[in-house]
Chain A
Amino acid sequence: MIQKKICLLGASGVGKTSLVKQFVEGIFNEKYLTSIGVKVDKKIISLAEQQVQLMLWDIEGQDRYHVFQERYLRGAAAYIIVVDQTRTISLRQGIDIHTLARQSTNCPAILAVNKNDLPAAWRLDEDEYASLAPLFDLHFSTSAKTGEQVEAMFLAIAELLHGNKKNDITT
C-alpha cells in the first residue's frame, strides 16, 4: 500500500491536533491541551483505484516556545498550514511558517483555515486573496469541532498525491 507523509504545521492553538483527532477518531474535545513534540497518526483512505495510508505528523505549534524544525518535513508528500480564523495573527504566523517550509521542500502545501464554526476575525479582500491563494495548492475552510471539510480536505490531499510517486514512503 502507498504511504504518504503529511505534516501539520501552524502556530500554537490553531487546532492541528483537533483536526487529526476529528479525522482519525471522529471526536472533538473543547478543552485546549497543548501538544509537545511530534505524534504520528495513520489512517487509510480508499480512493477509486487503490488505498492510500496517510501518516499524519502532528507537530507541536511553532511559536516563541518551539521553533520550526525543518527536518520534520523530510520525506513529506504534502504539508498543511493550519490557521485559526478567529486570530488574525495566526494567519501571519502561518504564512511565515510556510515561507520557512518552502526553503526545504517543494511538496504541495495546503492551507486550512480552521475554526470556521466561530466568527472570523479577518476577511480577505480580493487583492489579498489573489496574493495569498497562489501560495497554496489547495485551501479549505475547516472546523475540527463540527467536522466540516475535514474529511474532504484529507481526501482531496490523498487524491492530489495519488499518482504522484515522488515521496512515496513504500509502494
Chain B
Amino acid sequence: MTSQLNHVLNAMDQLVLEVIDSKSGTVKLLGGDNDWVKALFPQLCPQQSFTISDNTPFLLDFLHDARQVWLGQNDARIRSGLWTEVTENKTELHLEAIAIKKQQKNFLVITNQLEEFQLQQHTKQLARELLLSNDRLCIQNEYLHSRLLSIFKQPPQQSALPTTLTKIIENAEFCVIITDNELTPLVENSAARRLFKEDKPFQIQPDKPIDIILKLMKNQLPEYDRILSTKAHWNGELCWMSPPATLKWLKISLYPVKTKLNEVENWIVFANDISTIKYLVQRNEQLALQDMLTELPNRFSFWQTLEKHITSGKNFYLLYIDINNFRRHNEFYGHDEGDKLLVECGKRIKSMIKGSDFIARIGGDEFAIILTDIDHRKACEIAIQRIIDNTKKPFATSKGETFTVSISIGAANFPNDAQTAEDLMKFIDLSAYNGKKNNKNTIQFYSQSMRDTSHQLIQLEHELRLAIQNNELELYLQPIVDLAKSTITKAEALIRWNHPTKGLIGPDKFIPVAEKSDLIIAMGEWVIQRTCQMVKKLTKLGYRIKISMNLSSAQVTDNSLFSYLHSCVEKYKVDPCLLEVEVTEGVLVDDYSVANKLLSKVRTIGMSVSVDDFGTGYSSLSYLKQLPLDFLKIDRSFINDIVTDDNDKAIVRAVIALAHNLNLCVIAEGVETKEQLHFLTDNSCNSVQGYLFSRPVQFKNFVELLKNQQINGTD
C-alpha cells in the first residue's frame, strides 16, 4: 500500500482491512492509520494480522452477515449500519463497517461516520421531539375533553361543576373556551387570553379569542358551515396572521356538547400554539408545503395550486377523496398501520393520475385532486373509476394481514358548478359526505338535488327530535311462538313513527338518521322505558311474556346504557327475566370488548341476550363461544326459500345444530308459510316469528292475540 493511498484513506476517515480468514475473523491492515483506528484496535500493527474480538462486540456480530458476502461466489457488499464504540480514553467513535467481496478478494472497510452521525442525530432529534410533542398535545386534549364531557354529563345534583370545572380549566396550559349554543363565550381561561394577546400599540378593545378563532375557521375552512350545521367536531391547524407582529400556528379543536335530543348545548374549543412545532417541521422537512407522512403536497400547497388553476380560467374537475371508516381501521390495527395505509393510499391514487394532475393530503384521511385537461364528466368518471379500482385492491399490514378499504369521492367542476375555491371545496365536501353514507366505494358529483337531499335530511332529523318530544313514536310488538309449547312466549319490540302529516313511517327511513345524529340514544332510552311499561302491563293482565329490544351500535358503546336499563327495571318494578336485548352480529364483532362487558352485566341482572340477523354479516363463530348469549335469530333471508333451496336448508340445519351444541336456543325470523314452519319444527328449531302468526301489532292488538290464544288453548 503506497503512502499516498494511505493518505487518501486517512483523509476519508477510513480503515481498510484485508480478510485473511473469514471464519475466525482474522484480518490484516491494508491502509488507514488515523488516531481513531489506533484507539479502536490498540493491537493493530502494520503487516501483522489480528482477530476481531468481543472488545468490539457489534463488529464481531456483524461478521455473521459479512461471512455471507465473503463466502459467496459473486462480488457483493453489505453495510453494518451505524454503531457507537467507546474507546479506552472514553471517546465515542461513530462507525460503520462494510464487508466487500471484489474479484475473489475479501475486505472489511470501517468508516468513521461522525458527520453522518451528527446529521442523522440532528434531523431525527427534531423529528422525534416533534412526534413526542404531538403525542403530548393529543393526550392533553383528549384528557381535558373527556373530563369536561364527563362533568357535563353528570346529573346537576351530583355535579360539583363550578369548582371542578374552574380548577381544570384554569390549570390547563392551553386555551380553553366554553360557549353557549350560539358560540357566545361563557368560560375562557387565562391561557386563552395569553394566547390571543396581540402586541398592537394602539389597540383599544382587543378582539375576543373566540371571535378570532371563528374568523380564522370561516376564512380558512370551506367546511366551516357544514361543521356547525351538522354539529360535527373538528380539529386541525389554522394560521393566525395579524400584522405587524403576530404570526402564530394554532391547533384548534372544536367539540359540540349535545343534549339527548342531539341539540347543541355548548361548544368546547381548545387552542394550542404550535408555532414552534411548525417551525421545527419546516426546518426539518425544509418543505413547508409538504405533508410529512405521505410526502404529498399539504393542505396549504393545495389551496395555492387551486387558486392558480382558478386564475388560469381553464376547465378542471376537483375531487375530494375520503377513506371510509378510517377511524375504525386505526382503532383496530393501531395508528402506525393507519399511517401506513395513508401512505399507501396516497401512492396508489397518485399512480392513477396524470403527471399534470395535482394531488394533496388535505386532512386526516382526506385527499384532494385537481384533474386538468378534462372538460366532460365521462372522462372524469373514467379517471375516478381507475382510482377506485386501484384502492379497492387489498392492502397488507406489517404483519402480513390483508384488508380492504372503501373510499368516498366527491367531484365538482370548475367553472360549471362553482367559480371560487371556497365554493368548490364546499361542494365536493358535501358530495363526499353524502357518498360516505353507504360505506362503499362511491362517486358523487355535485348537484342541486344533492343539496336538496341534504336539507331534507336535516329537516327529517329536526322532525324526529320533535317526534320524541311530542310522543309520536309508538312501539309495536311482533309475537314469537315457542314451537314446543305452541304458544306466544315472547315478542320483539319494533319502533314506528306516527308522523302528523306523512302517516306511519317505517324504521328503515328514520333509524339511519337517528344513528347519524346520536338521537338514537334518546330513542333507545324511550324504547327501554316503553318496553318496561308494556311488560308491567302484561304482567298485571296475567301474562308472563318476555319482550326483546334492539340495541344499536351507538347504544352498546354508550357508557350510561346499563345504568339506564337497570334504573328502568327498578322504577317499573318489572322482572328482568321478562326483558331481552337484541344485538346484530355486526355490533358484536365491531365492538367486541364493549359488547362483552355490557351483555355480561345485562345477564347478571337476569335479562337474556339474543343475536339478531344471524348469518348475514361476519358470522364469526368464535364470538358465539365467548360472548354471553342465549338466543340466535336466523335471518329471514335464509328462511324465505327454505322449502325449495337445498343450500338454505343445509345452512339452517347447521345453525340449529351449532346453536344447540353451544346451549343456545334458535328463533327463525320471517316465517310466512306452513311449509317453512314444518321444516323448522322437524329440525328442532325452538321458536319462530313471522307473518304466518302475526305482523308487528299495537299493544292492544297484541293483548287480543294473547287472549285469543288462551281461548283457543282452552277449547
Contact = CB atoms under 8 A, between A and B. Distances in A.
B65 A71 contact: yes
A121 to B, nearest CB: 6
Contact of A92 (B82, B293, B334): B334
A116 to B, nearest CB: 17
A38 B128 contact: no
B83 A38 contact: yes
A18 B54 CA distance: 24
Contacts of B121: 33-34, 36
Nearest to A39: B84
Interface string A5-40: 100000011000000000000000000111011111
Interface in B576-629: 593
Given A13-B132, A36-B120, A89 B61 contact: no
Interface stretch (A44-52, A60-68, A138-146, A147-155): A60-68
A99 interface: yes
Given A34-B121, A92-B334, A96-B334, A40 B128 contact: no
Contact of A38 (B84, B127, B398): B84
A38 B54 contact: no
Contacts of A64: 293, 336, 339
Nearest to A61: B128
Nearest to A88: B139
A5 B58 CA distance: 11
Given A12-B131, A37-B84, A38-B58, A74 B64 contact: yes
B65 A87 contact: no
Contact of A34 (B84, B124, B135, B399): B124
Q: Among A36, A42, A87, which residue has the most Cβ atoms of chain B within 10 A?
A: A36
A27 to B, nearest CB: 14
A35 to B, nearest CB: 8
A75 B62 CA distance: 12
A121 B143 CA distance: 9
A103 to B, nearest CB: 9
B129 A32 contact: yes
Interface residues of B, number: 33
B398 A96 contact: yes
Which of A13, A40, A57 has the most chain B CB atoms closer than 10 A to its own CB? Answer: A40
A169 interface: yes
A114 interface: no
B339 A38 contact: no
A76 to B, nearest CB: 10
B117 interface: yes
B335 interface: yes
A57 B81 CA distance: 14
B201 interface: no
Contact of B54 (A3, A39, A69, A87): A3
Contacts of B129: 32
A65 to B, nearest CB: 5
A39 B83 CA distance: 6
Given A87-B139, A93-B336, A37 B131 contact: no
Interface in A66-94: 66, 69, 71, 74-75, 86-89, 92-93
B334 A36 contact: no
A55 interface: yes
B243 interface: no
A170 interface: yes
A36 B64 contact: no
B673 interface: no
Interface string A153-171: 0000000000000000110
Contacts of B117: 36-37
B713 interface: no
B394 interface: no
Nearest to A66: B124
Given A40-B58, A99-B399, A169-B54, A63 B128 contact: yes
A150 to B, nearest CB: 20
B72 interface: no
Given A87-B139, A99-B399, A34 B128 contact: yes
Contacts of A169: 54
A69 B132 CA distance: 22
A139 to B, nearest CB: 21
B560 interface: no
A40 B82 CA distance: 12
B542 interface: no
B128 A65 contact: yes
Interface in B51-77: 54, 57-58, 61, 64-65
Contacts of B128: 12-13, 34, 61, 63, 65
Contacts of B335: 89, 92
B139 A121 contact: yes
A89 B135 contact: yes
Contacts of B293: 64
B276 interface: no
B125 interface: yes
Interface string B348-383: 000000000000000000000000000000000000
Q: Nearest 8 pairs between A and B by C-beta? A: A37-B82, A39-B84, A38-B83, A12-B128, A34-B125, A40-B57, A37-B83, A36-B120
Interface of B: 54, 57-58, 61, 64-65, 81-84, 86, 94, 117, 120-121, 124-125, 127-129, 131-132, 135-136, 139, 293, 334-336, 339, 398-399, 593
5 contacts: A34-B124, A36-B117, A37-B83, A40-B57, A87-B135
